Structure 1
Amino acid sequence: MDCASKKFYHKHDFDSRKFLETFFSDKPDMVFADDSLKFPMVNLHYVFSSGFVKGDILIDLSVGSFIHHLYSACDIFNDIIMLKFNERCNLETSRWKDSRTGAYNWKHALTHAAKLEGKSAQMKDKDEQLKTAISHVISCDFDNENITHPVVLPLADCVTSLWIASVISKDEDDYTRNLEKISKLLRPGGHLILVGLLNTSYIKVGEENFHAFNVDESFVKNVLHKLGFVIDYCAIQKRRNESTLIDYKAIMFITAFKTK
């Protein structure tokens, strides 16, 4: 697929609801559940319940308006700040957080989170716990040195970032610069949790094709090393579905400690 025919997630109009329905819903024809829903949730539950990732402030910078990956985080972090590139994703997230009419229904993800924690009877409490923990949903722009200008954020103890680095990067240098900007949100000694698609070049949302920069495991690990991170956990799952909506080969979960 020619690069010129693809849009960029952070530059062009992005249908956040269609993205959720395509890749994160509980519809019978949604084939991505093992990779997009369960894989990150299982690994996040592991790293947070293990106790080596902890603190007070978590900043999340992820594609679209999904929240399922943060159910485990709200057991650890009292202050979760979500950053969004476009207004539609911002509004979609805020609609769910404020329990407004038309909000996306995350009951299927909440059920899975409760099973992971062995607390199926407390599903509603977990949903409210996460909504309370999310203190802000803020717009960001990677063209600025301070990506949340004019807002100045406190340094986070943990930064979670799912899919974002590839979809906003044109090439290797761009990917490195963008990951460096993400790392600047994190205090020394904090943890970056990076979930990314390997060997992918496009994501289809509705009738639109969106760009993804093709990376492999070795490249991502080398960039993290150059930026002063030490990887303390990594899990890779080969693709478990068949679909022409996206062309990734595997999904990777990395937890990395910021040394400087």
Structure 2
Amino acid sequence: MPYTILKHCLSEEWNAKDFLETHFSHGDVYYTEDSTVVPMKLLHELFSSGLVEGDIMLESSAGGMVSPLFSASKYFKEIYVMEFTDASVNHFKQWLENSDEATDWSYPAQLVSGLEGNEDGWKEKEEQARRAIKRVLKYDLLDCNSKNSVAIPEVDCVLTVYQFNIICQTKEDFKHNMKILTSRLKVGGYLLFFHALNMTFYQTDGHKFSSLALDEKIIEKVLNDLRFDMVKKEIIPAVKEHENADYTAVLFAVARKAK
């Protein structure tokens, strides 16, 4: 399908809840391995190693994902969440408020609790994440002077999981949005970045949406241009081809902001 007729996540057809439950919460078991299990295991290993630490984190993940925060909230006292659509902000807040309309994140909460050696503690794991989250903000992709982009204190770590797969349409978008997202990161702080490589589309709720196809070389160049030093990189091949998205592998990068 030509790129020009694919929809973007800012279109009115984009449904945050359906997107999350298709791709991360209730999806196909093979697909969930890539979208949810792989990031959860890698984050658990990273945080428990002691390589990345601090007090304040900025998190921004595709569609308002909650699952990355189950590991992070054990290590960071304050977490600020930045999303790029009203739908994602609103749906994330539904989970914070324990609304019946919220996506069920019990599966990744149980997964992380098991990795931490407390399989029965998943409900407390969810509450731990809720307590750590201080604000949920929207950055408007159409407003480069969004006040919310500076309503966040300087942070020790930025975590983003698949967000850039859905918000970027050009390489210039990618660099611009990465610069914004990391603008509050302290020198010496860490960027934790997950990306589905070479993905041109994903689908949800009966619609196909665009994704900017990037490979690891392009991503590394942008991070280098923004003065990040690569500390760690892993590329995990896709479990199998899937109709909901055409990525080839998952990239996990840990980069440190240089002077």
Which residue in the other structure is 2:161 paired with? 162
List aligned pairs for 1:42-81, cutoff 5 A.
Answer: 42-81=41-80
C-alpha distance in 2 between matches for 1:176 and 1:140 = 15
Contact 1:239 1:248 (C-alpha < 8 Å) held by counterparts: yes
List aligned pairs for 1:20-169, cutoff 5 A.
Answer: 20-26=20-26, 29-149=28-148, 152-169=151-168
C-alpha distance in 2 between matches for 1:13 and 1:186 = 33
Q: Return the offset for 1:150.
A: 7.7
Unpaired runs of at least 5, structure 1 = none
Q: CA separation of 1:13/1:149 partners in 2, compared to 1, >3 Å: closer, same or farther? A: farther
Q: Return the offset for 1:152.
A: 2.1
Tell me the secondary structure at the aligned position of residue 253 of structure 1: strand
Q: Return the offset for 1:115.
A: 1.2
- Share of identical aligned residues, percent? 29
Contact 1:56 1:79 (C-alpha < 8 Å) held by counterparts: yes
Tell me how many residue pairs correspond in the alignment.
259
C-alpha distance in 2 between matches for 1:170 and 1:211 = 7
Contact 1:31 1:242 (C-alpha < 8 Å) held by counterparts: no
Contact 1:6 1:209 (C-alpha < 8 Å) held by counterparts: yes
TM-score by length of 1: 0.93
List aligned pairs for 1:176-195, cutoff 5 A.
Answer: 176-195=175-194
Q: Return the offset for 1:11.
A: 5.0
Tell me the secondary structure at the aligned position of residue 31 of structure 1: helix
List aligned pairs for 1:215-226, cutoff 5 A.
Answer: 215-226=214-225
Aligned-CA RMSD value: 1.7
Contact 2:109 2:122 (C-alpha < 8 Å) held by counterparts: yes
Q: Return structure 1 stretches of 4+ with deviation > 6 angstroms.
A: none
Tell me the secondary structure at the aligned position of residue 188 of structure 1: strand
Q: Return the offset for 1:148.
A: 4.3
Q: CA separation of 1:88/1:142 partners in 2, compared to 1, >3 Å: closer, same or farther? A: closer
C-alpha distance in 2 between matches for 1:196 and 1:61 = 12
Q: Return the offset for 1:138.
A: 1.1
C-alpha distance in 1 between matches for 2:4 and 2:12 = 13
Tell me the secondary structure at the aligned position of residue 99 of structure 2: coil
Tell me the secondary structure at the aligned position of residue 157 of structure 1: strand
C-alpha distance in 1 between matches for 2:139 and 2:167 = 12
Unpaired runs of at least 5, structure 2 = none
TM-score by length of 2: 0.94
C-alpha distance in 1 between matches for 2:137 and 2:180 = 16
